[in-house]
């Protein structure tokens, strides 16, 4: 038994990945000839093996396999031997396909080899070991295979056909085989029952002989419908029907039918599983939608009216049962549209009765969120989410989606990998729209989709064109097999209403009076007992307040929620009934006016806390700089957790405490502080902010602490007390951590309208009316201090230790850090907890420097102390990690300076701290260290913020641009990076880098490593940009390259040796040529000093006067 690879399937260029496997199985081989497997498919005269010589020309991405086995034992009287032979075929395939077991597979059998394939697929059904082979097999090709028919008469013919096959052999078949074939029970008993259950799982191609009757047509086909089986007659006898001579016309006519039908099967193959997985992962990533989880659940039995199917009801149930394409839910801001949509999305199927046997529709949904992640605000994200939900809901649709999104390319589908996936697939908004429209109109796609789309008015972009696309999508599917219907919620905006006014509509604020009444009763039942006269006409008092709230709310649930919270505060503060009614009457019904009134009611002693709290939450919706080491730094996502928020409200100096906080007692104290802050949010913000209870389950078992008596080598050192040592067994000490709730719950604005009010002029006017000056600190300082405290809360031995996925689940706090900063433990991203948290910390520290204008030295030095406690050489490890993680940096390039907090600060763009350290004279930059740092900043100039400023700091404090290290000066290194190794355009920062070095004495006559003048190189680039029309808007006079030319001229470049070549280069631009000629004449008149390199070549005096020596340093 063996399986031979006839063709590897690597495409026309030989570098592709096979997209499909085809395995050929021969039939009866009584003499066990060693070449019978090949001889079955090879023409004996021409020696043409079409599986190897012809089929790869039409299917270059199909790997073709040939299976050989001893058929005498297999087709003997012992049925067990036949079953074992089928298992042998499966085992050979399993081992051969071990690298990609999910690759689509076509099995092809001649004569009784087809029976062996059927038995193998039956065996695979019952053996999990071979399930991947069965699942991957999507088509079976039979050449003259005798099948048992559906009637008893055909069963008899089946046995006779098997005997005829054996008798047709040119040699005598053994009695053992003949006896087994005559009985018919060798195959029919097993296959007739088990095989028929698999018929609907494959496509079949059945070739039957047109010459002779060894296996007649009625036995050679499966008698299935045309959509499952294609029956083809070949003008050949039983033995030659699968062998073709290229020089014989009749054979080539037969081969035409074989090749084209196999090509049809290959085109119908299931989508490549790896491509589908890549596509689905990418669509899910683009369409990420955590908004649904954040929407508050409905209160008690609210919104039951939506299921009212009477004539006077909202009409949603009637719409569900109809074929109307759109149902529109609209209402005032804060009326509860999102909460209602979440409820309908979860409950619709329960209220949709389908006829018996009819498949229920697929329910899908997406919720836009203007306050959420940026991707939740884009129409592209919705389209990607829609497509991903369609792929997972409709079996077999992945192939169509791949086909629709694949860019035109000469590469075969099988050659695509995850690395170049995005380059080969069109995933922009217009492409996703086209794919959805094509799916809705596709004739083979059938089903029913009900899609719940919430918050279209919160989607960025042009709402008018977006709603036009949606109506086009649902209307175009009305007369197709795939019906797409849309339940849409939004405000009634002028851009949206015209396109939706003809569809059924529900104005939610007209239906919520009873819901509001029940909400008020429930919320005020307990606090009402605080009234001193609550026993006097209590029902009447409750009714009066309830009716007043309902009347003023106008159906806006958000208004009710804020007002009830304020009434509860009044009850807690001892208000009487009359004072409550006065408080209620003073609150305006307009939301924005209500917010202003709430701010006015906040006591002056709390206003500073209010501003700080709001600024912290507001900062979560204002992205922190994304330019710092984007390939390395993590991206926070989601709102601030209660733990982060509470730590950010503390005095930042408290984070500078020498004590660590990784013990259970410390965590309990922090949890108590979080609960205090939660109470303060209610009293300071009066409902504008709230703590949202998260429904997300924590993926870990709890914080881990070790009892003092159980730790080996008990230590009294407060720095290392209370965390698990590396030798301690951690599996037995798991219990729920005190910070569990604070790490899950988040602090958020009550509603989108609150956030918009906060950014309005009305809010600033309210604040100014409360206080003349707000004693607030920059949010970045508080967040930086919070990150430092979290770092102290982690056990030091876990900070820099490489963690496995199984280990990180043992610590809830570690899991929290990993989740918040997207740290992929044990993968390519961050190998440990510290790196992700440190990157976020440095980003916040840089932002704090910008906001305060002072160095954050105390916080950086405290960070250095903590990290050194955990790992003495953490600077070097972090530097290596950042360097290796950036794919744009050459791994062969290294800078061998000593990594410390100073160099890391340069790396992270902390220029205020760098300046402070340089002014303290702790760092001397006159030697090689200065040269290395200049080269380092030049190399990472595009990856750190304010690189020109960092360079100027180094130059101001003694670094010399002409100082050489390892045979090259910092100035030449910077020139080569910009003018030799970089693309055509120069950024402003890159121009400022070179201009700054010139201003600090860099030699303007320094040649590039290829011997060319830098001025000539720059002018060549200007001419190229002008010719390529890059400068169509700014002109050559204003481009950064021309500004650099002026810097060279200003600093006295010596142009005489290159003047002719330079002027020849710019002759196509007369204006530029005239400008240069004028400047060159002025340079000649000024007689600038030549560079050291030029004077060495000409033998001139190398003495420099003291002023020139001071200006140019030591030269090159």
The pLDDT > 90 percentage for the chain reads 28
The per-residue pLDDT for range 960-973, each reduced to its tens digit, is: 888 887 788 888 88
Residue ranges of the alpha helices (H) in 365-462?
379-393, 398-405, 421-424, 429-441
Report the distance separating Cα 111 and Cα 137, nearest Å: 19
pLDDT for 359: 64
Q: Are 50 and 143 in contact (CB under 8 A)?
A: no
Looking at every residue in the chain, the average pLDDT score rounds to: 78
Nearest C-alpha neighbor of 207 from the set 140, 144, 115:
144
Strands of 704-795 (E only): list them: 746-749
Phi, psi angle pair for 302, to nearest 5°: -65, 155
Whether 2-268 and 274-510 share one fold: the answer is yes
In which residue are the tokens 């940009």 written? 1025
Report the distance separating Cα 646 and Cα 613, nearest Å: 9
Per-domain residue ranges of the chain: 2-268, 274-510, 513-589, 928-1116
Average pLDDT on 486-496 reads 93
The per-residue pLDDT for range 600-656, each reduced to its tens digit, is: 888 888 888 898 999 898 886 544 444 433 333 334 445 788 999 999 999 999 999
841 CB-near residues (< 8 Å, 6+ apart): 784, 787, 788, 791, 863
Phi-psi region of 432 (alpha: psi -120 to 50; beta: other; left: phi over 0): alpha
Phi, psi angle pair for 697, to nearest 5°: -80, 140
The per-residue pLDDT for range 862-895, each reduced to its tens digit, is: 999 989 988 888 888 887 777 666 545 444 455 6
Report the distance separating Cα 880 and Cα 201, nearest Å: 53
Report the distance separating Cα 777 and Cα 142, nearest Å: 79
Average pLDDT on 56-78 reads 78
**HSE-CB for 817 with a 13 A CA cutoff:** 30
Tokens of 171: 């040699």
Pairing mode of beta strands 2-7, 62-68: antiparallel
Report the distance separating Cα 245 and Cα 47, nearest Å: 8
Q: Are 883 and 943 in contact (CB under 8 A)?
A: no
Report the distance separating Cα 230 and Cα 235, nearest Å: 16
Q: Give residue 33's pLDDT band: very low, low, confident or very high (50, 70, 90).
A: low
Mind giving me the DSSP string for 470-504?
A: HHHHHHHTTTSSEEEEEEEE----TTTHHHHTTS-
The per-residue pLDDT for range 113-127, each reduced to its tens digit, is: 999 999 999 999 889
Residue 106 has pLDDT above 90, yes or no: yes
The pLDDT > 70 percentage for the chain reads 75
- Strand, coil or helix: 421: helix
Fold of 274-510: Rossmann fold (3.40.50)
Residue 279 has pLDDT above 80, yes or no: yes
Q: Give residue 832's pLDDT band: very low, low, confident or very high (50, 70, 90).
A: low
pLDDT for 31: 54
The per-residue pLDDT for range 244-261, each reduced to its tens digit, is: 999 999 999 999 999 999
- Strand, coil or helix: 68: strand
Residue 480 has pLDDT above 70, yes or no: yes
Q: Are 784 and 841 in contact (CB under 8 A)?
A: yes
Average pLDDT on 457-473 reads 94
Q: Which CATH superfamily is domain 2-268 in?
A: Alpha/Beta hydrolase fold, catalytic domain (3.40.50.1820)
């Amino acid at each position: 038994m063996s399986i031979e690879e006839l063709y590897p399937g690597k495409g026309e260029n030989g570098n592709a990945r096979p997209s499909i496997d085809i395995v050929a199985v021969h039939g009866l081989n009584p003499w066990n000839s060693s070449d019978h497997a090949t001889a079955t498919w090879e023409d004996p005269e021409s020696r043409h093996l079409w599986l190897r010589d012809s089929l790869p020309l039409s299917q270059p991405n199909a790997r073709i396999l040939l299976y050989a086995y001893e058929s005498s034992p297999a087709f003997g009287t012992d049925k067990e031997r036949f079953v074992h032979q089928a298992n042998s075929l499966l085992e050979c395939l399993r081992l051969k396909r071990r690298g990609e077991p999910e690759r689509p597979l076509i099995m092809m059998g001649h004569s009784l080899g087809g029976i062996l394939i059927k038995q193998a697929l039956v065996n695979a059904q019952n053996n999990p070991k071979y399930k991947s082979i069965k699942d991957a097999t999507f088509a079976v090709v039979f050449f003259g295979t005798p099948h048992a028919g559906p009637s008893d008469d055909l069963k008899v013919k089946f046995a006779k056909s098997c005997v005829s096959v054996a008798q047709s052999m040119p040699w005598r078949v053994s009695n053992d085989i003949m006896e087994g074939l005559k009985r018919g029970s060798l195959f029919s008993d097993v296959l007739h029952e088990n095989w028929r259950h698999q018929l609907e799982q494959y496509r079949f191609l059945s070739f039957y002989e047109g010459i002779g009757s060894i296996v007649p047509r009625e036995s050679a086909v499966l008698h299935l419908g045309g959509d499952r089986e294609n029956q083809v007659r070949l003008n050949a006898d039983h033995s030659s029907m699968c062998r073709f001579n290229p020089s014989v016309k009749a054979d080539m006519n037969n081969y035409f039918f074989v090749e084209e039908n196999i090509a049809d099967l290959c085109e119908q193959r299931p989508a490549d599983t790896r491509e589908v997985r890549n596509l689905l992962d990418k669509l899910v990533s683009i369409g990420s939608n955590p908004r649904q989880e954040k929407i508050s659940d409905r209160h008690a039995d609210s919104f039951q009216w939506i299921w009212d199917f009477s004539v006077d009801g909202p009409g949603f149930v009637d719409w569900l049962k109809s074929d109307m394409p759109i149902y529109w839910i609209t209402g005032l801001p804060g009326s509860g549209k999102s909460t209602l949509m979440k409820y309908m999305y979860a409950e619709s199927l329960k209220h949709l009765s389908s006829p018996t046997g009819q498949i229920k529709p697929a329910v899908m949904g997406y919720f836009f969120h203007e306050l959420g992640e940026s991707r939740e605000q884009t129409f592209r994200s919705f389209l990607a989410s829609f497509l991903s939900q369609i792929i997972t809901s409709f079996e077999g649709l992945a192939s169509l989606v791949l086909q629709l999104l694949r860019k035109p390319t000469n590469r075969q589908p099988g050659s695509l990998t995850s690395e170049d996936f995005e380059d080969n697939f069109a995933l922009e908004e217009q492409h996703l729209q086209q794919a959805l429209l094509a799916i809705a109109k596709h004739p083979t796609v059938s089903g029913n989709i009900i899609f719940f789309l919430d918050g279209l008015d919160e989607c960025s972009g042009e709402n008018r064109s977006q709603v036009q696309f949606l109506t086009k999508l649902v209307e175009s599917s009305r007369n197709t097999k795939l019906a797409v219907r849309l339940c849409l919620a939004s405000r009634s905006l002028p851009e949206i209403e015209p396109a939706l006014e003809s569809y059924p509509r529900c104005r939610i604020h007209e239906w919520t009076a009873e819901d509001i009444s029940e909400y008020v009763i429930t919320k005020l039942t307990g606090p009402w007992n605080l009234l001193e006269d609550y026993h006097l006409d209590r029902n009447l008092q409750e009714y009066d307040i309830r009716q007043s709230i309902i009347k003023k709310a106008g159906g806006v649930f958000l208004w009710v929620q804020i007002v009830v919270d304020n009434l509860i505060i009044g009850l807690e503060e001892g208000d009487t009934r009359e004072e409550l009614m006065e408080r209620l009457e003073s609150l305006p019904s307009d939301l924005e006016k209500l917010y202003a009134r709430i701010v006015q009611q906040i006591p002056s002693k709390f206003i500073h806390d209010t501003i700080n709290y709001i600024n912290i939450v507001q900062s979560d919706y204002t992205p922190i700089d994304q330019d710092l080491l984007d390939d390395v730094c993590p991206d926070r996502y989601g709102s601030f957790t209660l733990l982060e928020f509470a730590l950010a409200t503390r005095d930042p100096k408290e984070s500078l405490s020498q004590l660590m906080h990784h013990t259970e007692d410390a965590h309990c104290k922090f949890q108590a502080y979080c609960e205090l802050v939660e109470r303060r949010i209610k009293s300071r913000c009066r409902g504008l902010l709230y703590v949202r209870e998260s429904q997300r389950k924590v993926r870990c078992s709890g914080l881990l602490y070790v009892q003092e008596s159980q730790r080996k080598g008990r230590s009294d050192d407060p720095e290392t007390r209370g965390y698990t040592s590396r030798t301690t067994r951690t599996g037995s000490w798991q219990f729920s951590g005190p910070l569990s709730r604070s790490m899950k719950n988040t602090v958020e604005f009550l509603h989108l309208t609150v956030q918009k009010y906060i950014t309005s002029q009305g809010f600033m006017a309210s604040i100014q009316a409360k206080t003349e000056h707000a004693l607030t600190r920059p949010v970045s300082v508080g967040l930086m201090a919070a990150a430092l405290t979290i770092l102290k809360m982690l056990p030091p031995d876990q900070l820099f230790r490489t963690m496995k996925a199984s280990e990180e689940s043992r610590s809830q706090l570690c899991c929290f850090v990993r989740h918040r900063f997207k740290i992929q433990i044990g993968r390519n991203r961050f190998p440990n907890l510290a790196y992700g948290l440190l990157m976020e910390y440095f980003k916040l520290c840089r932002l704090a420097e910008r906001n305060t204008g002072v160095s954050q030295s105390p916080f950086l030095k405290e960070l250095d102390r903590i990290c050194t406690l955990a790992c003495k050489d953490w600077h070097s490890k972090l530097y290596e990690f950042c360097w290796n993680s950036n794919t744009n940096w050459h791994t062969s390039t290294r800078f061998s300076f000593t990594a410390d907090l100073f160099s890391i600060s340069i790396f992270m763009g902390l220029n205020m701290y760098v300046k402070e350290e340089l002014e303290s004279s702790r760092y001397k930059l006159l030697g090689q260290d200065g040269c290395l740092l200049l080269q380092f900043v030049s190399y990472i100039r595009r990856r750190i913020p304010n690189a020109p400023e960092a360079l100027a700091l180094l130059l101001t404090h003694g670094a010399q641009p002409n100082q050489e290290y390892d045979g090259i000066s910092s100035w030449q290194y910077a020139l080569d990076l910009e003018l030799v190794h970089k693309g055509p355009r120069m950024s402003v920062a890159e121009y400022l880098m070179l201009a700054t070095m010139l201003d600090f004495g860099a030699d303007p006559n320094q040649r590039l490593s290829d011997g060319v003048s830098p001025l000539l190189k720059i002018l060549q680039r200007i001419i190229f940009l002008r010719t390529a029309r890059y400068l169509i808007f700014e002109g050559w006079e204003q481009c950064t390259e021309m500004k650099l030319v002026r810097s060279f001229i200003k600093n006295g470049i010596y142009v005489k040796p290159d003047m002719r070549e330079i002027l020849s280069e710019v002759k196509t631009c007369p204006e530029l040529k005239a400008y240069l000629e004028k400047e060159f004449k002025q340079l000649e008149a000024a007689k600038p000093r030549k560079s050291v390199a030029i004077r060495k070549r000409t033998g001139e005096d190398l003495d420099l006067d003291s002023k020139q020596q001071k200006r140019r340093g030591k030269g090159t």
